Amino acid sequence: MGSSGSDGAGAAPGAAAPAPPAAPVPPASPVPRPLIAVTGRRVPQGSIARWLEAALATPSDYLDALSRAGGLGAVLVPEPVDDAGAAQVLDGFAGLVLTGGIDVDPRRYGQQPAPETYGCDEATDTFEIALARAALSRAVPLLAICRGCQVLNVALGGTLDQHITGRPGLVAHGIPNGGGGVDCEHRIEAGTRLHAALGVERSVGRCHHHQSVARLGASLRVSARATDGIVEAVEPVDAAGWCVAVQWHPEESAAVDPVQQRLFDAFVDAARQRRRG
């Protein structure tokens, strides 16, 4: 039996040949991930098993939370810079994360170190305070965590309470510098960027701090407190860009707590929008 298909064999003389099939449309290229600057720490030689050289490091929880949100973290080497140099550092980035770590030198806010204050490093303080100011002045989205929250406050002229651990009337806020953390309940202020990001009025986050915000820096407002009244988050009232600073460590529980992950989601979304703009 002859073929009855439409291969043109039985077409009338002079008829146009069938049009060739259309070429497949290539898939759309994925949207580039916003590149996020993440502050790191210099690790002395011999501190890492089976690694002979000095190193640069930051806890991977920060980078993992950014990655889940669609961002890509890049760890920065702390080095002394002025405000102009900090602005140049941020030129290639869509956002900045100021991470947790050692205490800010109290001399930065006009005090002498308390006996419990530890680990202060002039180069790290200079670098991160300059980065915080540059991010605010250039409307670069900024997420400041634990030490980062304190850096932001000091950068704007605020002060810190140098040691709250064990003080009567306060709940436990964790033991820093490797001593372990505690889960702490936070009351979120309505109408803040933090509230918009988390979508809740109360949350539970992991805390490791023995210091806290005392006098607020210029233009900052409190956006969350612990149940004992300790300031647990601040943010600028009139910042041109997205900025939230929290005293707890949302990155530690973000993989299993959607509320904490939302903070990274909102931050990366702000970074993505700034890059598009």
Contact yes or no for 159/150 (Cβ under 8 A) = no
Residue 110, Ramachandran bin (φ over 0: left; ψ between -120 and 50: alpha; else beta)? left
The answer for residues whose C-beta is within 8 angstroms of residue 214's C-beta and 6 or more apart is: 158, 159, 160, 161
How far is residue 176's CA from residue 181's CA, in Å, rounded to a whole number?
7
Q: Retrieve residue 161's tokens.
A: 């309470």
- The residues annotated as belonging to the active site are 146, 249, 251
How far is residue 183's CA from residue 132's CA, in Å, rounded to a whole number?
27
Of 97, 24, 30, 16, residue with least CA distance to 63 = 97
How far is residue 220's CA from residue 166's CA, in Å, rounded to a whole number?
27
